[in-house]
Structure 1
């Protein structure tokens, strides 16, 4: 068996199936989550709307009953005022009221228990007339009769007269007992003012006589937060006072803050934009005595709800701008308030998620059940038969050719078993055939090995022959290189020999002249000496001899100097050409010496040499190599360029560029074609093979320039247009040692 880790096909099938089933379950859970979230949202929104409607209806009952109570008090007052006689109300007033030391009228001792009776108060500045007494008696009777009956729902019942007097049933707060004489009841928030009153607009009503609700205010006597429902009290179509209920807001606050829909919170504000109740603003409301505006509160949900209330739509169910809350807003008509219930979106998501967890748990259980079923089916119908195939394959691999498998199954595994048995038969047949082929192959390999051995022997013999031939070729190449060197040296010596012959010929002329002049002087001296010895020498003879001797000496001196110059130039050029010394020299002077040494060859022709070079240019290099280069260039022009030209011109120009010298050599000779230009620097290439040309002159020039002088040379030419050599040479080779 191989070293690979064994992997069960059943486990692999489960591994492949599990992600798909899991994906299906997760998709189902996500769909169910979205369904639960949608249905939960609809359900809770419906319940919140129902809650708000029910809550508004319940709150309105209290406000509507208060308005009905005030209307009833109005009717009862008119009835009693019209039926009460003067004797009755005078007697009742005397029993009810007594004048205090501060000038005010308050309850007598008989009615001093304000927990049982209503409190009555008449200001010290109010004129106590019969009409006032009658009204005071009726006010007290009405508050005593209806105040206790309504006290379970409303904290008090009060009636205020226009002449600054009042009757109030308020057992918890004995307001009338502590009322100050400076108090003007008609200027308080809980007094109803007609349209012509100069009171604040919020407390002014029209002539319809309908009740209204005041803003939230803090009562300094009761020390509580209140809201008052007040209505005008009319008599003979004239307002004589105000009747009203006071409601504690604490209970409203508690109901709004605590009696809410599960998970939601409530808040209330007025149409004028004042906050009544908000769970996060109660402390600020108390600090501002109920005068906190929506704008000052700075809560986005509150601000958004207030903006929506301005649209005139009194019932709205909407989603907040930040999509974090679902809100239902309704109008509480009597006090003109807006009640809002806000339910967080996250709560709906959490509820849907909790329901989805149940579905997810059921899906996981279903996944485990399905995987168990798949595992059992795969193991029984697939894994076990495959184990038999594995055993059969191992047996065949170990050499057993008689393995049996059940091929009676009518499925893919049965077909596989049948194919395996057929393969086993084919293997037996192929094995016998391969045995024969292996025998034949071994025999062929032996023959091939024998042929390879013979071939290797032949290769070794041929290799030895090639090595001998290579040795002979190497020896021949060395001999050719040596011969080439000898030819190059011969070319140098030939050039030097020509120079020597020319200089020798040039020196013969001044030396011959000197010899002739010396012979003439000697002959004249012999003649003069004979005349002197004979005593025949005259002054003219002596003077003539002196003149002739002076002329002869001048000739001797000038020709000796000329010979000396020739010898000196030849000596310097010859020494430089045979020397390997690197030295500093004036370039123009040295080129002139080289050209002077070539005068014997140039004098025989009409050719001219022109030199252009600054006097100050110096060069530190190998002058011998430079001399050989110039000599060969001039000789090439004389031998090849000017072969058919009587009067040619050679132009040599030298310029300095930075640390290099550019030497341009050109003539107006015959020039070369393209083929000759490409081969000019090749060794042994010459156009005068049968006329004494060696083909090494240009090759020697190239080697001297590029190797000895460390420069470069470039040639341009065209047939009939002469030749031009451009040499770029370093002006200083200090420290260089060149072979």
Structure 2
């Protein structure tokens, strides 16, 4: 059997205390106080009541002041208070309710009304406490889930970093190996030439062979070292925030032209046609970051999209609406298998690892678009073949955004 609720009756009239006690004591534990000081002492004790019936008009501290002090206490403010009074004016009721009282019981008392209103407030208070406990439990559970989520995210970041470092090491091994082999060969040629000179048997043909071999070796070294520099620079772009990105107002069509210019000769040499359909669109953003995005997407299409394509094509389109700029970079190449599309922006993920592709380009694009330009990017295959990268960027990027 559950413990009975405790009711405190506060009234300076003994007959009122006795009558209310006779109504409530068969069901509840009843305590009485004949003045405000005594009532506050009971409420602030170690065993406060579950509900208070409080008279308004009392000598000394009146009911309003008792109510004000109780509601000002963080530990006692949740105790429901029902004013009991002969005052029936609406202004008095409004004053009491404004101070935090839950209800009124008017004199002369009706036993059924007293019991009904007391029971209602006790039920409401019990449900409120249960709801608070449930909310506390939910908050604890939510905090635990958020902590778990943070740990999972960190674990995923560490795993991605591990894959990225392993992929970078794998890719660097090839040009470094080539450079070491070439240097070894060049050292052997130098020793051979030196021996010939010391022995006085240096021939013009031997010198010409040495110069030819050295020239070819230097080209191999240059390509290998340029490859290493490119890999390291790409890696840095994923790990270093671009603090020098400058905000400015610009025309998007100009930025597209600027981005396409450095790769136009490469595309032309491989027979790749480039179409640009970008109307003049004024943007406030970081133009050089946008140029970087276009550069990576075009190079990605050039390196991976076209396999035995007769008329390879890359198309860039853009349109502005409702403060957003939608930009697409599409091709008519081989497309991306659906099973791989969810991973295409992961660092070091590429289907051509070890064959000239590091797998950082699209990761750099995702980082720039989402973390620095405040936008989003997705990839989708086209019905007629090829794939399309679609970016949505704010037309006006605020400097306070997370873009930098």
| Structure with larger Rg | 1
Does TM, normalized by the shorter one, top 0.5? no
- Give the structure-2-normalised TM-score: 0.42
- Structure with the higher fraction of residues in helix conformation: 1
Higher relative contact order (CA 8 A, sep 6+): 2
